[in-house]
Amino acid sequence: MNPVPTITLNDGNTIPQLGFGVFQIEPKDTARAVGEALDIGYRHIDTAEMYGNEKEVGEAVRASGLDRGDVFVTSKLNNSFHEPGDAREAFDRTLSELGFDYVDLFLIHWPLPTLYDGDYVSTWKTLEEFKGDGRARSIGVSNFQVEHLERLAAETETVPAVNQIEVHPYLANDAVRGYGREHGIATEAWSPIAQGGVLEDPTITRIAEKADKTPAQAVLRWHVQRGDIVFPKSVTPSRMKENFELFDFELDPDDMGAITALDRGEDGRTGPNPDTFAYVPG
Ligand SMILES: NC(=O)C1=CN([C@@H]2O[C@H](COP(=O)(O)OP(=O)(O)OC[C@H]3O[C@@H](n4cnc5c(N)ncnc54)[C@H](OP(=O)(O)O)[C@@H]3O)[C@@H](O)[C@H]2O)C=CC1
Ligand SMILES: O=C(O)C(=O)[C@@H](O)[C@H](O)C(=O)CO
């Protein structure tokens, strides 16, 4: 039996709590990496138009021999395509690249509040169309701050199923997570091990040693016990396997608290700040 628990989203669909992320995996390496992840047991892949490897993700899912319905695939609307007409074309291209007739989850990748007159609301209403016609089973957002979520709640009909945000021991991001918890929005924690940046922290190495696990496993288990969805990235088969083995141990409340206490607030952020991030690919 697959050990990964599922989380029920606010629209009734379910998502495996542990997945496999493919940011910074070269297209030429993606089909192999995703194929290995599926062999290990991962059933949830997180890609994006921005990553340039949707096509290879789709190829790997087909080559695995698994039923399409057994693999949860997320993709995201790139920053160039927030205008509704552009979003429709971009979504068509995403489905065509993946070679699928639906995605399990489609996200607005960044809110871009300083661009497009701050109008992520009409972008969100366009994603509602994709949910309505069944080509996106669930829809959500990524990198949305509380203020952005409040605006969607005030001006649209659909509460995002997920908000995919940067979360790891150095950036607990608890205000955004708390808003999600109160409003039925599942948190997906991106860069869950801060791209390796938290693995030598003495608190984490101590807790890992005590549990007879690796630092990455201790950190990923911390996320799981906080109830967040994670999808660590690795191109290294032994690490992909290690990151999958999270469900045969538990961190006690003291260890959970000690990891949570590593939070550095905004200083812990490794990626862009969503309030100011304004990159639009050419
Ligand atoms: N929505 C958004 O804006 C964003 C979304 N994401 C999503 O989140 C996913 C995960 O985040 P990501 O930024 O990739 O970073 P992660 O926190 O998953 O870290 C990935 C890095 O850690 C290394 N690594 C993985 N496992 C281990 C291990 N067990 N021990 C030691 N090192 C390890 C990998 O090396 P190697 O590959 O060489 O093994 C890689 O360098 C992305 O792939 C993407 O899907 C990420 C950033 C932004
Ligand atoms: O990986 C993602 O999903 C991202 O959005 C990041 O690449 C992000 O755009 C970034 O790291 C920019 O420097």
* Residue 1: pLDDT band with limits 50, 70, 90: confident
Residue 199: inside a domain: no
DSSP code for 185: P
Give the integer Cα–Cα distance in Å for 160 and 167: 18
Residue 259: inside a domain: no
What residue's CA is closest to ligand 1, atom 24? 234
Residue 115: inside a domain: yes
Residue ranges of the binding site for substrate: 109
Q: Answer yes or no: is the ipTM higher than 0.90.
A: yes
Give the integer Cα–Cα distance in Å for 60 and 223: 27
Give the integer Cα–Cα distance in Å for 95 and 239: 30
Residue 214: inside a domain: no
Nearest-atom number in ligand 2 for the CA of 23 is 1
What residue's CA is closest to ligand 2, atom 3? 23
**Is the predicted pLDDT of residue 45 greater than 90, yes or no?**
yes
Which of 23, 105, 36, 94 is closest to 270 using CA atoms? 23
Element (H, E) at 240: helix 237-244
Q: What is the pLDDT of residues 84-107, one digit of tens each?
A: 999 999 999 999 999 999 999 999
Residue 246: inside a domain: no
Q: What is the pLDDT of residues 198-237, one digit of tens each?
A: 999 999 999 999 999 999 999 999 999 999 999 999 999 9
Residue 159: inside a domain: yes
Ligand number nearest CA of 108 is 1
Residue 24: inside a domain: yes
Q: What is the pLDDT of residues 156-196, one digit of tens each?
A: 999 999 999 999 999 999 999 999 999 999 999 999 999 99
What residue's CA is closest to ligand 2, atom 6? 271
Instruction: Tell me which residues have their CB closer than 6 angstroms to ligand 1.
Output: 21-24, 46, 109, 142-143, 164, 190-196, 199, 216, 231-236, 239, 242-243, 271
Q: Which domain holds residue 165?
A: 6-194+227-237
Give the mutation target among 50, 162, 270 for probing the ligand 2 site: most ligand atoms within 8 A of CB. Answer: 50
Ligand number nearest CA of 142 is 1
Residue 10 sits in a domain whose CATH number is 3.20.20.100
Residue 77: inside a domain: yes
Domain count, the chain: 1
